[in-house]
Structure 1
Amino acid sequence: MNARLSRQMTLLGICAMAFYGIMLGSGIFSIDIMPQFIISAVIFLSSGRIMRKAARAMVRDEEEEQDKRQKRKEADWPWLTGLLNWTAAFLIIGLMVIFLMKPLGVSFTEVLQLTTAPDQFFAHSVP
């Protein structure tokens, strides 16, 4: 698809160059506005070439990716399942510990403010 589109862009650039040449030759366009039209035609011509290179690179990358997929090692699903189960278990137990250790009438923000760790850290100056 990209190769066909690149051919169409190149053809559009050639047609634009021919159109601008005919308009210049017939005297409809003056020399003053031709640089803008020539630049647009050159952009069309070069975009077709760039798209053709990109299409070749994409095909090459897809072939390399298929080779990598074939070489890739299969995932160890039983081990990953066990890891997920243990992680979820530790997470649930940790949340339960946090809820059980917090006093009933105190919010979480108050609990964090009541910790003495910052006070003890800055209590003494270093001699």
Structure 2
Amino acid sequence: MTDKSASLKLGDKTVDLSVKAGTIGPDVIDIAALYKHTGTFTYDPGFTSTASCESKITYIDGDEGTLLHRGYPIEQLAEKGDFLEVCYLLLYGELPTAAQKKDFDYRVTHHTMVHEQMSKFFSGYRRDAHPM
């Protein structure tokens, strides 16, 4: 968090807006209270200059083609990691050590039973049904 702020003047109204530092990427101006103070909305077609949320897990920069999960490029995770290793990363915020991975893999694979009612629920769907 920074002590920076930005001011927006609209007619005779001036609104002070806080500026938040991004972990990666540019700082952002918090406009959450803009409508409350000015009665106006922002217009940003395609969200080209808008951060839609704050995330400790994912960073996306579409212009640069960047997608990071917990600071790691998604391509690197896909090429060098496996599914459960990435699950561990997303859950705990860091890649597992060899011992942590072995324990996590064991816990997940030994607790994968599906409740019978869920099995019946899934059997009601065609195998080629649309996911949405």
- Give me the TM-score of the superposition, normalised by structure 1: 0.23
- Structure with bigger gyration radius: 1
Report the structure, 1 or 2, having the larger helix content: 1
- Give me the TM-score of the superposition, normalised by structure 2: 0.23
Report the structure, 1 or 2, having the larger strand content: 2
Greater RCO structure (CA 8 Å; 6+ sep): 1
